[in-house]
Every structure is written in C-alpha cells, then in structure tokens.
Structure 1
Amino acid sequence: MNYKIFIVEDDPWYGEMLKYHLEMNPEYEITLFDNGREVLSNLYRKPDLVCIDFGLPDMNGEVLLKRLKQENVNLPVIIISGQEDIEVAVSLLKIGARDYIIKNDHTKENLWQAVINARENTILKQEVEELKDQLEEKFDFSNSIIGQSQPILKVFKTLEKAIKSNINVSVTGETGTGKELVAKAIHFNSDRKRKPLIAVNMAAIPPELVESELFGHEKGAFTGATSQKTGKFLAANGGTLFLDEIAELDLSIQTKLLRALQEREVVPIGSNKSTIFDARLITATHKDLAKEVQEGRFREDLYYRIIGLPIELPPLRERGNDILLLANNFVQDYCKTNKAGKITFSEDAKQKLYNYEYPGNVRELKAIVDLACVLCDEDKIQPKEISFNKLAKDNFISFQEKSLKEYQTDIISYFLNKYNQNVVMVAEKLSIGKSTIYNLIKAGDIKLEE
C-alpha cells in the first residue's frame, strides 16, 4: 500500500521540486496543493503525512496545523519554512508538528529523512497498538484462565462484574492459584486496558523502601536519592495498580496507603506538594486478611477501603478435571516453546496427576508437567516421568470427597511407594493382611510403580 503524502506549497516551482524529489521513492503517492483550504477539503482521502509551507496566502502554518490536528490528532505534519526563528519552531513543535525544516540548500535531504522518520514512527505506533490488541486477546479471562469446573466458573462470573466497573478488587487464594493472572485479566478487559498495569510485590521490597516505591521521592530527599523518582501510584495513572501480598505491608505504611486511597492523591518523599492520581486498585494476598485485622497486623479501616469486590480463587485440588485441562495446556506450551513434537499423557499418567493434591497449585502443576516433558523418552508421558514436590510428599491424605475404600487404597499406595513396593513391610506397618494388598493390586485398584 502506497504512503500518501500531501504537500501544501504556494510556490508552484518549489512545490513541484519537492514532489519530484519525494517521488523518487515509488512507495510515495504525492499530491500537491497551493492553499490551506484545499488541503482541508481533501482530508477525506486519508493522507498518511502532510507537509505544509508556513507562509500560505489564505492561512499561516500555525493555523493550518491546528486545523489539521483538530481533524486527526495522530496525523504527522511537517512544517517547511523560510523562517529561522527558534521560538516559532519550538511553538509549532509544541502544538504538534512532527518536524520543522528550514528552506535552504539542504531542504530536500532533510525532508527526505523527516518523511522516513515519520513513517517509521507511524509503523511503530501501529505495532504497539497491535501488541496491545494481542495482550487483550491473550488476557481475555476465558483464554488466560483455563478451566471448566464449577469453582472456576464462579470466578468467571465475578470477573465479568469486575470488568464492568472501577471498584477496587481484592483477590485471595493460596500461593500459585493465579492471583496476578486475574489482575491482568481484569485490567486488559476493562476500560483502562490502553493505560499501564503496574504490578508491585510488596513482599519483595525492603520495608525502608516501600514508601519511596509507592509514592516516589524528590532528589536529595534521603541519602542515595540522587534523582527524582516517580512512584508506582503515579506510574499507574489512568490504569491499574496491582499490589500483590498486601498483607506484608508494615503498619506505618498502611497508614500512608490509607490516606492516599482516601484522598486520591500522593505526596512524594521530600515534597510538600500533593499530586492527584487516577488508578484502579487491585490487591492480592494468600493470607486471611480478616484474621490479620483481628490479630492487629492489618488496619481495619484499610481493610474496608481495599476489600471492594472480593474474588477468592479455589485451590487446584478443588477444581477436578481442570487439572488435566491445565496439564494439556502446559504440554502444548512446552512443545511450542521448545519446538518439540506432539506429547500426550498416558491414562495412568493422567490418573496420577488427577490424584495429587498440589499444595503449590497451578504453579506446581506447571513445574511438574514441564519436567515430565523433559524426562519423556517418547511422545507419551508415563507415570514414572511424573515426580511430585518433595516438600509435600508426606501429605498423602486427600482433601477430596472419596469413599472409605478409596481412602484405604490411597493410604496403601502411599506406603507401597514409600517402602519400595514391599508388600510384607507395608502389611506390617498398617496392621493388615498381605492378601488385602494383593487383592487390590489384582483388581487394578493399586498400580505398582516401576
């Protein structure tokens, strides 16, 4: 597609010279005008760039520039002028001119480069918009949060309500359940999606630096403050501020955070000037905030200020078949990232994944699946290639609803694995007959690992 350039020049000879020079690039489609009104009446043709002479007979360059920006604020405009007054150039650039070129012996070369720069800038902006669109699609919660279980469908319903409003959102859930993913899904599906999402892990910031990180500081405000710093509240202006692990905040900082949220303004360290901000707040924690309030570790007034719309994420062990949906998704991601062939799970491997409790939740499942893909010798993952977190290997009692026989089978399987499939030793440990174990193995209720 050709790059459309309008040249507005009242000197016919000079205009033709510029037109001829730019047409040396076959991708440029040049149209020449001799007055401002004519070019304004042709904006329906959607030019990609407009070059205007500052001294036109019907209106000066400043007036025409303003009219062009009123019609299309994103339209690049290059001013070509015989004036060398720096103040005029600066004024036009402030109004929105893309470039200011003086008429002299180098005008043709300078215009050529200015057009290239303007075109590259437009392409970069288009790429940024495309990337933003891709982010929105990626973090559409039906794509980014995998699951069909009732607990996760309940979360989806709450997310839909969060997206349609600007209310504060508080996300709770065990470690690894996907709290930051929820924050991203809310932001990138809300009216604030074109503005920044600033994520801050409160547990990762030393207590003495938290105030500076959140509210910013002036140069010289304290030892080591060699330059001015913009805080996260102002960095998120117009967008969303996500404060993860909010329960880790020191009580003194909680007081300042409360004031900022109440007044909707922040005061950087070392400054006496407050700055208004407009950012939506999403908080997250793996702790029970209400309990933290009762035990005096979290301010009650701040609790009610941030609680907003609560979203509780279910642990993976309560999500049933979502475990296998997520596992398959992680396998596909692994294959795509590592350019590997198709990998699937054997039925026994699926059962092993399904029966595990996942104290680390979705994050742990991903680590388990990635390792299984690495260990897999063929195109199918077997039970022996699935290894669970050693930190939690003694947590063998399931929290799922099961029959007494299923619990019995789980306990016997656990001890068989612990004692290297030694049936006699396990029978002695559990005070049961060897025949009970052999019958379960024969019936297929227990599968001995290789």
Structure 2
Amino acid sequence: MAFSIFIVEDDKWYGEILAYHLSLNPDYKVTRYESAKDCLAKLSDKPDLITIDFSLPDMQGDELFRRIREVNPTVPVVIISGQDEVAVAVKLLKMGVSDYLIKDEATKDLLWNSVVKIRENQSLKKEVEHLREELGQKFSFEKSIIGQSDKLKKVFTMMEKAVRTNINVSITGETGTGKEVVAKAIHYNSDRKKKNFIAVNMAAIPKDLVESELFGHEKGAFTGALTRKPGKFEEANGGSIFLDEIAEMDLSLQSKLLRVLQEREVIRIGGNEKVKLDIRLIVATHKNLAEEVKKGNFREDLYFRIMGLPIELPPLRERGNDVLILAKHFADEFAKENKLGAINFTKEAKEKLQQYSFPGNVRELKAVVDLSVVMCDNNEIKADDITFTSTIREDFYGGENKTLRQHTCDIIKYYLSKFDNDVVATAKALDIGKSTIYKMLQDGEIAV
C-alpha cells in the first residue's frame, strides 16, 4: 500500500522539486497543494505524512499545524521554512511537529531522510499495536485463566466489573495463584490495552533503589546517576502499573506513594519538574493488608487509597476439578512447545493430582505437569510419572523421627503462618475444628 504524502508549498517550482525528489521512491504517493485551505479540504483522504511551508499566503505554519491536529491528531507533520529562527523551531517542535527543516540546497535530502525515519517509526508503532492486540487476545479471561469452578467464576465476575472503569484493583491470594495473570487480563481487556502494562515486584527490589525505580531520578541526583532515568510510573503513563507484593513496601516510601496517587503526579529524585500521571493502579499481595495496618506495618490512608475493587483468588485446593482442567492445559502446552504430540492422563494419575493440596498452587501444578510429560512413556502420564517436590513435604517428613502428634503440630503451625495466624482460615484449609487449634495454642503445643 502506497505511503501518502501531502506537500503544502505555495512556491510551485520549489514544491515540484520536493515532490519529484520524493516520488523517486515508487512506494510514495505524493500530492501537492499550494494553500492551507486546499490541504485542509483534503484531510479526509488521511495522508500518512504532511510537509508544510511555514509562510503560506493564507495561513502561518503553526496555525495550519494546529488545524490539522484537530482533524487528525496522529499524522506526522514536517515544517519547511525559509527562516532559521531557533525560537520558532523550538516552539513548533514543542507543539509536536515531527521535524523542522530550513530551505536550502540540502533540504530535499534532509526531507528524504526525515520521511524515511517517520515511516520506520510508524511501522514500529503499528507493529507494537498489533502485538498489543495479540496480547489482548492472549489475556482474554477464558484463555489466560483456565478453569470452570464456581470460585473462579466469581473471580471472572469481579474482573468484568474491573474493566468497565479505571478503579484501582487490589488482588489477594496465596503465592502461585496467578495474581499477575489476573492483573494483565484486566489491563488488556480495558480501554488502556494499547498503552503500557508495567509490573513491579516490590519484594525483589533493594530498599535503597525502590524510590528511584518507581519515581525515576535526574542526572547527578546521587552517586551513579549518570543520566536522567524515568521511573516505572512514568513508563506506565496512559496505561497500568502493577505493584506486586505491595505489603513489602517500606513505611517511608508508602507516604511518597500516597502523595503520588493523591496528586496524580510524580517528581523525579533530584528534580523539580512535576510529571502528570494518568495511570491505573493494580496491586497484589499474599498478606492480609488489613492485619498489616493493625500491626503498624502499612499506612491506613494508603490502604484505603489502593483497595479499590478487591479480587480474592482462591487457592488451587479449593477449585475442585480445575486441577485436572489445568493439568491437561499445561500438558498440551508443554507438548506443543516440544513437538511431542497429544498427552493423556491415566485414571490413577488424575486421582493422584486431585488428592494433593498443591501448596504452591497453579505455579506448582505447572512445574509438576511439565516434569510428568518428560517422564512419561507413549504420551500417557501414569501415577508414577507424577512427582511432588513441595518444600512442605521436606519440612514435614524429612529427617527426624516424629510422632503423629508432632507432625500434626508442624502442619498446623505451617498453615497458621501461611494464613497470618488466622485460626478460622487455617481450620477451614485443614478441614478441622477451630476449637482444636485454639486448645493446642492454649496448651502450648503450638506457639505463634
């Protein structure tokens, strides 16, 4: 498809020179206009690029550029001027023109190079948009989050509510339940899907680098700051930022995050410039944030600011037959990547998967299934091909000779720790009475 270029130049001879030079590329369709009025009348033809003589008889270049932007806010515009005033060039470049060229003997070659660069940038933008559309399809609810359990359907309902607006979203759930997958699915199904999704794991960044990572810094702001560096919030502008493990954020930084969220602007470390933000915030944690507030580990005002729409992801052990649906999905996915053909599970293998609690949740299931596909013969996974390597098993059954009562104490202690000492949640997960746990705590068999 031809690349359409409008040349707006009242000097007929000069305009013909530029048009002839660009027309040497057979991919370019060049159309000349001698007035701003004629150009504006043809904007409905949707040119890919427009060059403008700054001093037209019926309109100055800056005014014509403004009028073009009203009709087509994305078309690249190159200004060609007979004057070399720096102030004029700076003003136009700040307005958003793609290039500013001075009329001289080198203009036609400079214009050629400028058109090549603009066309390359447009191709890259289209490619990025195409990739984002593919990501949107990949992260459709049904494709990215596999399962049919009632608890998962409740998650889908909340996600559908989340994509309708820009409300903040807080995702809770055990490690490995798929919090980032849910965050991506919300972003790529929202009206922000063509903008960036920036994920930050708060637990993975050293404390002394978190502020710079999130909010950026200016050159010379501190030792080692050799250049200006935009932060993750700036990178996410127009899109969504996902702060995983938000409960791990230091209290001193929580106050700065609160200010950024309240003011909708960020100031880089060592700078004074205020960068306006248009972002959607999605946070996640495996901890109970309300409990963290009570303990003094998390600011209450920030807690209410980020909570927004809460989505709680159920652990895999509470999702019933989803274990087998996911296992089949992961097996087929791994087999396809490694060109192994269709994979099946024996009845005994399915029973073994369903009887296991998967403390590592979906992430652990995928690792188990991938290994099972490698270990199986004739593309059929048997019970013996399935190996569970959870660290819980090592903690509970490794090494020491313990009584059944001691093992029971270890298991209850593990789950109490996992659920932030929530006795009700622990009793529910282990399918025992909460009074049993309370008595063991009272008798000193379990210490928290």
Q: Distance in 1 between matches of 2:207 and 2:185?
A: 29
- Residue 153 of structure 1 and its aligned partner are, at CA, apart by 0.2
- 2:10 and 2:35 in contact (8 A); partners too: yes
Per-residue deviation, residues 143-198 of structure 1 (Å, max 9, x unmatched): 21111110100111111122223333221111100111122222222333344333
Where do 5+ consecutive residues of structure 2 fail to align? 398-448
Look up the match of 2:31. Answer: 31
Q: 1:81-100 maps to which residues of 2 (within 5 A)?
A: 81-100=81-100
Q: 1:368-447 maps to which residues of 2 (within 5 A)?
A: 368-393=368-393
Q: Out of 363-372 and 265-274, give the one that drifted further.
A: 265-274
SS of the residue 2:16 aligns to: helix
Q: Distance in 1 between matches of 2:336 and 2:186?
A: 27
Q: Out of 267-276 and 304-313, give the one that drifted further.
A: 267-276
What is the letter of the counterpart of residue 124 of structure 2? L
Distance 1:394 1:204, change over 3 A: closer
Q: 1:189-200 maps to which residues of 2 (within 5 A)?
A: 189-200=189-200
Look up the match of 2:102. Answer: 102
Per-residue deviation, residues 99-155 of structure 1 (Å, max 9, x unmatched): 233333333333332222222121111112222222222222232111111010011
> 2:241 matched to 1:241?
yes
- Residue 95 of structure 1 and its aligned partner are, at CA, apart by 2.8
Look up the match of 1:70. Answer: 70
Look up the match of 2:156. Answer: 156
TM-score by length of 2: 0.78
Q: Distance in 1 between matches of 2:286 and 2:167?
A: 21
Q: Distance in 1 between matches of 2:3 and 2:305?
A: 52
Distance 1:96 1:373, change over 3 A: same
- Residue 15 of structure 1 and its aligned partner are, at CA, apart by 2.9
What is the letter of the counterpart of residue 160 of structure 1? E
Distance 1:211 1:79, change over 3 A: closer
Q: Distance in 2 between matches of 1:194 and 1:209?
A: 29
- Residue 218 of structure 1 and its aligned partner are, at CA, apart by 5.0
- Residue 396 of structure 1 and its aligned partner are, at CA, apart by 10
Q: Distance in 2 between matches of 1:262 and 1:112?
A: 47
Q: Distance in 2 between matches of 1:349 and 1:240?
A: 41
Q: Out of 157-166 and 13-22, give the one that drifted further.
A: 13-22
> 2:333 matched to 1:333?
yes
Q: Distance in 2 between matches of 1:38 and 1:265?
A: 42
Distance 1:265 1:17, change over 3 A: closer
Q: Distance in 1 between matches of 2:361 and 2:221?
A: 43
Look up the match of 2:4. Answer: 4
Look up the match of 1:404. Answer: none
Per-residue deviation, residues 327-374 of structure 1 (Å, max 9, x unmatched): 222223323433443333334333332332211000001111222223
Q: Distance in 2 between matches of 1:268 and 1:283?
A: 22
SS of the residue 1:369 aligns to: helix
Distance 1:50 1:265, change over 3 A: closer
SS of the residue 1:283 aligns to: strand
- 2:203 and 2:245 in contact (8 A); partners too: yes
SS of the residue 1:349 aligns to: helix
Q: Distance in 1 between matches of 2:318 and 2:171?
A: 17
Q: Distance in 2 between matches of 1:119 and 1:396?
A: 62
Distance 1:291 1:71, change over 3 A: closer
Q: 1:44-443 maps to which residues of 2 (within 5 A)?
A: 44-217=44-217, 221-262=221-262, 264=264, 269=269, 277-393=277-393
Distance 1:346 1:280, change over 3 A: same
- Residue 296 of structure 1 and its aligned partner are, at CA, apart by 4.0
- Residue 215 of structure 1 and its aligned partner are, at CA, apart by 4.0
Look up the match of 2:433. Answer: none
SS of the residue 2:324 aligns to: helix
Q: Out of 310-319 and 15-24, give the one that drifted further.
A: 15-24
Distance 1:339 1:105, change over 3 A: farther
Q: Distance in 1 between matches of 2:140 and 2:354?
A: 26
Q: Out of 40-49 and 102-111, give the one that drifted further.
A: 102-111
- 1:69 and 1:96 in contact (8 A); partners too: no
Choose 1 or 2 for highest CA Rg. 1
Question: What is the alpha-carbon root mean square deviation over aligned residues?
Answer: 3.0
What is the letter of the counterpart of residue 25 of structure 1? N
- Residue 276 of structure 1 and its aligned partner are, at CA, apart by 5.7
- 1:170 and 1:282 in contact (8 A); partners too: yes
Look up the match of 2:430. Answer: none
- 2:240 and 2:281 in contact (8 A); partners too: yes
Identity of aligned residues (%): 60
Q: In the comparison of the two structures, how many residue pairs are matched?
A: 397
SS of the residue 2:184 aligns to: helix
Q: Out of 95-104 and 42-51, give the one that drifted further.
A: 95-104
